[in-house]
Amino acid sequence: MNASGNPILAVRDLEKTFGSLVAARDINVSVPAEQTVGVIGANGAGKTTFINMITGHLTPSKGSIQFEDKDITGLPSREITRLGISRSFQVAQVFPSLTVFDNMCIAAAIARAHGDLFGTVTTALRSPAAIAEAQATVELFQITRYRDTPANTLPQGVRKLLDIGMAVVAWPRLLLLDEPTSGISIEEKFDLMNVVMSALKSRKITVLFVEHDMEIVARFADRVLAFYDGTIIADGTPHEALDDPRVQELISGVRVKPGAGAAHA
C-alpha cells in the first residue's frame, strides 16, 4: 500500500438525488494507489450509485471526483474509461457468440485504439500487439484452456474471469468490480478471488470491489467502506469496519472474524 503522495482517487461531498430520493450523500473518500477497497452495504445502500458516479454512468448532483489529480466529475463514461478507470459487472458482460480469445482481443484492440472513431476504422483488430496483449491477459487470468471456447458455453466462474480480464486488458490504474463473486458457488468463490486479486496485484491496479460475502471482504480487502442509506457509516481496515457495531447491526447481521480462517487474537 502506497499511502504517501496524492491519492489516486479523491471523492468530496458526493451526492446523487433522483427527484426527492437521495441515493447518495456526503460521500468523502480518498484512496491511495494500489489499495484494495471492499465496498459493503445492503441492497439500495448506495454502493452501485457510488460506483456508477465514478465510472461516469451517473452524473453526481453535487460534489467532485478527482482521479490522478484530474477532475472527472460528470465526464462521459467513455472518456473516463480512456483515462484509466475500468469496471466489471455483477452479471458478466461478454460477447456470447465469440470465443474467449476473440472477446479478449476485441477489448485489447479497442484499448489500443483509444476509443477514437477514426482509429477504430483504420486499425486492424488482430494487430500483433493486440493479440499478444490478449494472450497475456488470458494467461494471467488462468483461462487458457478455454481460449477457443465460445463465451456462451463457459462455466459461470470462467465467464466472470473473462469479464474482469476484459476490463484489465486495457491496463487501467483503477478497477471497479461490481460483485465479482455473485452467482458463483461458495466453494468456487475463494479460488476465483485468488486468481483475480493476484492478477490485479501483479498489474499494480487500485481496486474497489462491491461484495456481499463478508468472509471474502475480510480476506481480500485492505480497507472497507460500509454504506448505509446512501452514505459511508464506517471506513477502516476490515477488522475495524466489520467490528463496528453499526455495521454489524445494519449490514453484516452476524459477526465475522476479519482475516477469516486466520487465528484471531
Partner 1 sequence: MAVRSRLAGVLAFLMAAAAAPLMPDWVVSLATIAFANALVVLGLVVLWRAGLVSFGQALYYCIGAYTVALTARWTGFNDAFGLVILGGIGAGLIAGLVGALIARYREIFFAMLSLALSMILYGVLVKTESLGSTDGFTVSTPTFLGFALHGDKLGLALYWLTLGIGAVAAVLVGIYFRSIAGSLAAPIRDNEIRVEFLGVSVTRIIHVKVVIAGVLGGLGGALAALSIGHVDPAMSYWTTSGGFVFVTILAGAGSVAAPFVGSLVFEAVRSFAVDALPGLWQMTLGTVLLLTILFLPDGLGSLATRWRKREGAKPT
| Binding site residues, partner 1, CB under 8 A | 77-78, 81-82, 87, 89, 93-98, 106-107, 109-111, 113-115, 117, 119-126, 166, 170
Query: For partner 1, which is the closer residue by CB, 96 or 253?
Result: 96
Query: For partner 1, which is the closer residue by CB, 31 or 106?
Result: 106
- Whole-angstrom distance, CA of residue 180 vs CA of residue 135: 22
HSE-CB of 168 using CA atoms within 13 angstroms:
28
Q: Least Å distance between CB 12 and partner 1?
A: 25
Name, in order, each residue with C-beta under 8 angstroms of 265's C-beta and a sequence gap of 6 or more: none
Q: Least Å distance between CB 169 and partner 1?
A: 9
Query: For partner 1, which is the closer residue by CB, 75 or 241?
Result: 75
Q: Least Å distance between CB 77 and partner 1?
A: 7
Q: Least Å distance between CB 95 and partner 1?
A: 4
What are the b/e assignments for 237-262, b being 16+ CB within 10 Å? ebeebbbbeebbebbbeeebbbebee
What are the b/e assignments for 85-123, b being 16+ CB within 10 Å? bbbbbbebebbeeebbbbbbbbbbbbbbbeeeeeeeeee
Give me the amino acid identity at 151: A
Query: For partner 1, which is the closer residue by CB, 1 or 91?
Result: 91
Contact indicator for 56, 76 with CB cutoff of 8 Å: yes
Phi-psi region of 204 (alpha: psi -120 to 50; beta: other; left: phi over 0): left
Residue whose C-alpha cell is 496483449: 133
Q: Least Å distance between CB 133 and partner 1?
A: 13
Query: For partner 1, which is the closer residue by CB, 17 or 123?
Result: 123
Indicate the length of the chain as a whole number.
Answer: 265
Q: Least Å distance between CB 207 and partner 1?
A: 17
Query: For partner 1, which is the closer residue by CB, 94 or 193?
Result: 94
Query: For partner 1, which is the closer residue by CB, 43 or 122?
Result: 122
- Whole-angstrom distance, CA of residue 256 vs CA of residue 121: 52
- Whole-angstrom distance, CA of residue 240 vs CA of residue 245: 10
Q: Least Å distance between CB 107 and partner 1?
A: 6
